[in-house]
Chains A and B, each alone.
Chain A
Amino acid sequence: MSATRAALPPKRQLADTGDRPVDRRRGSTLLRHLAVVLAAGLLLVAVSYAVEPFRNFQLATVAAYLCATAGLTVLTGLNGQLSLGHGALMATGAYTVALCQNAFADRGMTGGWLLPLSLGAAIVGTVVVGAVVGVAAARLRGPYLAGVTLAVAVVVPALAVTFDGVFNGEQGLSVPVEPPPMSLGPYFPYERWQLWITGAATLLALLLLANLIRSRYGRTFRAVRDDEVAARLAGIHVARTQVIAFVVSAATAGLGGALLAVLAQSVSPGAFSLTLSLFLLMAVVIGGLGRLTGALWGAVLLVALPDLTHSATELLTLSPAVAQRLEGNLPLAIFGLTLIVVMIAAPGGVQGLLSRLGRALLARWPARRS
């Protein structure tokens, strides 16, 4: 008994790091991912018709957050770099999109191609900022990197207040967005249009990320995370790999921030505080580091938790002052507590638990049949 157990490969390790055995699947990775994205897109369109406008808006918010959490998953989960500054990168994207859209509106320009152009500019802007931070980050380790990105997260909202000529201080900027095109019909709900925009952008970003993860670059990311010295011995340029990971992650965070700005139709420094950066990290850790599905769970949590606590506080009969205090802070407290418990009890997060459950079921199933 003990001899056979010793001969078995260590399965636990797979469950904890979240890496799947690569050779299980055949066929083109790109085609498979394209198929998944296409299916998800069709499902999204179907859902957008099936649910009420408010749910559409919430789904769109999930999609925007998913952009940022997916990027952070690639950075922290696959490359092992901890960033507390992704809220600031989201702010960069959001402000870029706001400035672009305002510039277009001031010149009286209209057209369906303007928004993709602004989103592209937001990505370019965050890529530049991400490259600057990433070069610094590639030289830093663990707590030092966390400290620098923490400083970035604290400083960037302050910058928006300092240069209030451009960013309009605490008030922030409004983001003019055009209504849905007339070809969709005169009564097309605006929220559905928002879901389509954010959904399309996010699915595109996810497709690129998913392919990147399974490419040569994805392998070098993981190699650097697992053992820098070994990676260097294997001929991997460690610093370059870390900068690439940071830039990719920054680009998606910027897109996520830009999408949030488009959804809210405004940006202000208060929306991109340190708490948002911490929230993003919480979300990817609770969702499960190392896989994009974990990022999805995290994004869903980010939107669902405040909503759930709101409903919960409404059920209790509380004085308005107490209810107001609870509403802002209860989700934070739950998030913090969940994070601590998850880190101590189940470091794989939600996705880790699910896949462990799935594996356990799969392992039992053929045994029953035989």
Chain B
Amino acid sequence: MDRFVFLTIDGLSRGAVYAAFALALVLIWRAARVVNFAQGAMAVAAAYVAYTVSAATGSYWLGFVVAIVAGLLLGALVDRVVMRHVDHASPLNPVIVALGLVLLIQAVLGMVYGNEFRPAEAPFSRTALTVGGVAVLSPYDLFVFATIGVVVSGLAWMFARTPVGLRMRAAAFAPEVSRLLGVNVGGMLTLGWALASGVGALAAMLVMPTELGLHPHAMDLVFVSAFTAAVVGGLDSPPGAVVGGLLVGLLLSYVSGYAGSDLTPLAVLVLLLAVLLVRPGGLFAPVVARRV
């Protein structure tokens, strides 16, 4: 039972990170109908920038802020310099370009920082506090939950309550009409990319200390997990991404706790296939009238 409680909380903590990363995927999907396969690599790049800043200044928090800013800038840059010029006629084209970005970013990181693992420090202790003899939350878990909670509710507030959020939703939903009504659709798209990439960078900063550490390929498996989370929720639904992320986190935690950590990639694949084969639109997809 103790173990179950521990694995559950560990799973939710991991899941919160997957949820944030999945949310970033959903943001871009809703805005531009592109699944950003380069998101993991972009987040790693931001994390390396943070590492450099932290190493130079000795301040974790300065690095943390820099990572998010770097993520925002990188997202905007990728949209302006690359994605905007891709022919979106076939859904394959943006995916292929994103994969080119993956290779390019990972290679550049490898050239600058080398391909070896670097330890990523955690700002709080990762040893769990015990309540009545049962190990539950670590301070770091609390930090993860709090950060993700702030970001998710902040995004929800922005989209639902602010004029910018309204314009972003309008630009994604009906670009031509929005343009006629004076919305800067291209600007909204860039903002969407920047926000998604910033959230991705934040998720990378949170997951690095718990996973292997800093490495150009560190986010490969995290990306697959987050993609699964986004698919579980349906690529179109932000709340779905959050629930999907938590579910995937729990599943991975139970699998690695009870069956062995080697099997977690396989569990992700099985879950992904199962969801796609049974409910391709995700668990939260509204029933769409069939178009003939």
Contact = CB atoms under 8 A, between A and B. Distances in A.
B37 A326 contact: no
A340 interface: yes
A147 B102 contact: no
Given A332-B107, A336-B107, A151 B269 contact: yes
Chain A contact residues: helix, strand, loop or mixed: helix
A282 B107 CA distance: 14
Contact of B93 (A325, A329, A343): A343
Interface string B101-140: 1111111101100110000000000000000000000000
Interface string A333-368: 101111110011001000000000000000000000
A338 B104 CA distance: 9
Interface in B237-278: 260, 262-263, 265-266, 268-269, 272-273, 276-277
B142 to A, nearest CB: 30
A326 B113 CA distance: 11
B104 A336 contact: yes
Chain B contact residues: helix, strand, loop or mixed: helix
B224 A162 contact: no
A335 B102 CA distance: 11
A30 interface: no
A264 interface: no
Contacts of B96: 82, 281, 285, 339, 343
A84 interface: yes
B227 interface: yes
A339 B103 contact: yes
A80 B95 CA distance: 13
B171 to A, nearest CB: 20
Interface string B78-100: 00001001110011110111011
B97 A340 contact: yes
B13 interface: no
A333 B220 CA distance: 17
A213 interface: no
A159 B91 contact: no
A326 B221 CA distance: 25
B100 A337 contact: yes
Contacts of B190: none
Interface residues of A, number: 46
B95 A333 contact: no
B185 to A, nearest CB: 20
Nearest to B110: A329
A330 interface: yes
A151 B227 CA distance: 9
Contact of A140 (B87, B103, B276): B276
Given A278-B102, A340-B101, A154 B220 contact: yes
B280 interface: yes
Nearest to B111: A329
Contacts of A152: 269
Contacts of B95: 82, 142-143, 146
B37 A162 contact: no
Given A136-B277, A329-B111, A340-B82, A142 B92 contact: yes
Interface string A247-280: 0000000000000000000000000001100100
B248 to A, nearest CB: 12
A281 B260 CA distance: 32
A328 B115 contact: yes
Nearest to B99: A278
Nearest to B115: A328
A268 to B, nearest CB: 16
A339 to B, nearest CB: 3
B107 A158 contact: no
A91 interface: no
A76 B99 CA distance: 15
Interface string A115-152: 00000000000000000000010011111101110111
B228 interface: yes
A92 to B, nearest CB: 14
Nearest to B109: A329
Most chain B beta carbons < 10 A, residue from A151, A158, A159, A278 = A151
Given A151-B268, A161-B262, A162-B266, A336 B92 contact: no
Contact of B97 (A140, A159, A344): A344
A14 interface: no
Contacts of B87: 343-344, 347
Given A82-B96, A325-B115, A148 B35 contact: no
A155 interface: yes
B101 A336 contact: yes
B7 interface: no
B130 to A, nearest CB: 33
Contacts of B92: 76, 80, 82, 142
B103 A275 contact: yes
A281 B99 contact: yes
A298 B27 CA distance: 34
Nearest to B85: A344
A140 B35 CA distance: 14
B277 to A, nearest CB: 6
A155 B100 contact: no
Nearest to A142: B91
Given A139-B280, A147-B227, A278-B99, A329 B115 contact: yes
A155 B269 contact: yes
Give the 7 A-B CB pairs with smallest separation, nearest first: A336-B104, A336-B103, A339-B100, A142-B91, A332-B107, A333-B107, A143-B35
Given A82-B96, A325-B111, A337-B100, 6 more contacts: A84-B99, A147-B231, A281-B96, A330-B107, A333-B103, A340-B100
26 contacts: A82-B96, A139-B276, A143-B235, A146-B35, A147-B227, A148-B273, A150-B223, A150-B224, A151-B265, A151-B268, A152-B269, A155-B265, A155-B269, A158-B266, A162-B262, A274-B217, A328-B115, A329-B111, A329-B115, A332-B103, A333-B104, A333-B111, A336-B103, A336-B105, A340-B104, A344-B82
